[in-house]
Structure 1
Amino acid sequence: MTERIVVVGAALLDGGRLLAARRSAPPELAGRWELPGGKVEPGETPEQALERELREELGVDAEVVERVPGEWPLKAPYILHVWTVRLRPGSAEPAPLEDHDALRRLAPDEIWDVDWLDQDVAAVREVVARLRSTEAC
């Protein structure tokens, strides 16, 4: 059995809005939207990988809050795990630096206005369900 490689995704929430990043590369993914993140490198925890990826991709200093329940298959051997994250005080505003050409902060009623990557759809649904349940409290 091939060992699974974890890809981490960030549900960056700010004021009830979810940050979405539009891919600029590779060509087959360009123009579609995703939760920012990337592969966990050897010797990293998923949380460390997510903080590193967000620094590299968006230029932000983010803090991992909690794991969103579930895991979602990507192209073998990759599997997606998602965490909620927030910007640390004093962090720069997110900017598309690497592999992205646009960012949007989506309110709950705008979540499906963008063309999400197929593999992110189920994870985004779970994040939205969690957002709605915390709003109800």
Structure 2
Amino acid sequence: MSVPDPGNPPKTGLVVVAAALVDRDGRLLVQQRPEGLSMAGLWEFPGGKVEPGETPERALIRELAEELGVDVEQACLAPACFASDMLGDRHLLLLLYVCRKWHGTPVAHHASALRWVRPIELYGLAMPPADKPLIGLLEALV
């Protein structure tokens, strides 16, 4: 995780939301970033950018519907942890929610692949830098 340089503040901020979908066996869903996107091939938690005027929860519900085709109620999103990192010249704030209940079967609409993994298996996956510090917290939560 990179630390912002106080003498050179980030030009913009980027708020991103993600979900740790947990199945009945205690496994987490991760998706692989497709070719053509930054960080292609890396595994990440499903989610995306918070658009202007959206709450983080509304954005995550929208992103999960778009990316996975699942419906989630706001009451089923439990705030879990966050990460703060530099992404180029922007400051990234990643808000991670845990979700154990949704409607539908996840399908990779905007990812190369989906995988259900145990929290400890996340350590062996290539993941974006902002996601890595969240693994230990998820391991304790799940």
Partner of 1:5: 14
Alpha-carbon shift at residue 123 of structure 1 (Å):
1.8
Match of 1:103 among 114, 124, 127: 114
For 1:120 and 1:71, the matched residues in 2 are separated by 7
TM-score by length of 1: 0.82
Q: Is the 8 A contact 1:72 1:123 kept in 2?
A: no
Name the one with the larger strand percent.
1
Shift of 1:111: 2.6
8 Å CA contact 2:81–2:134 kept in 1: the answer is no
1:135 aligns with: none
Percent identity over the alignment?
A: 39
* Aligned match of 2:99: 85
* Total equivalences in the alignment: 128
CA distance in 2, matches of 1:110, 1:96: 20
Shift of 1:27: 4.4
Contact 1:60–1:87 under 8 Å retained in 2 = no
Alpha-carbon contact 2:18-2:46 (below 8 Å) kept: yes
Give 1:28 deviation, angstroms. 4.0
- Structure 1 unaligned runs (5+)? 132-137
Answering whether residue 82 of structure 2 is matched by residue 70 of structure 1, we say yes
Matched AA of 1:40: V
Task: Give TM-score, length-normalised by structure 2.
Answer: 0.79
Deviation, 1:124, is 2.5
Contact 2:31–2:115 under 8 Å retained in 1: yes
CA separation of 1:43/1:59 partners in 2, compared to 1, >3 Å: closer, same or farther?
Answer: same
1:82 counterpart letter in structure 2: L
Structure 2: state its 5+ residue gaps. 1-8
Asked if 2 retains the 8 angstrom alpha-carbon contact of 1:74 and 1:80, the reply is no
Deviations along 1:66-125, one digit per CA (max 9) or x if unpaired, are: 11133322411321111112333xx22101101x11011112342323222222111222
Cα drift, residue 24 of structure 1: 0.4
- Deviation of residue 3 (structure 1)? 5.4
Structure richer in helix, relative to its length: 1
Which amino acid in structure 2 is aligned with residue 68 of structure 1? A
Task: Give the aligned CA root-mean-square deviation in angstroms.
Answer: 1.9
Match of 2:68 in 1: 58
SS of the aligned residue for 2:70 comes to: coil
4+ residue segments displaced more than 3 Å: 25-28
Return the letter of the residue paired with 1:5: L
Question: Contact (CA 8 Å) 2:16, 2:95: kept in 1 or not?
Answer: yes
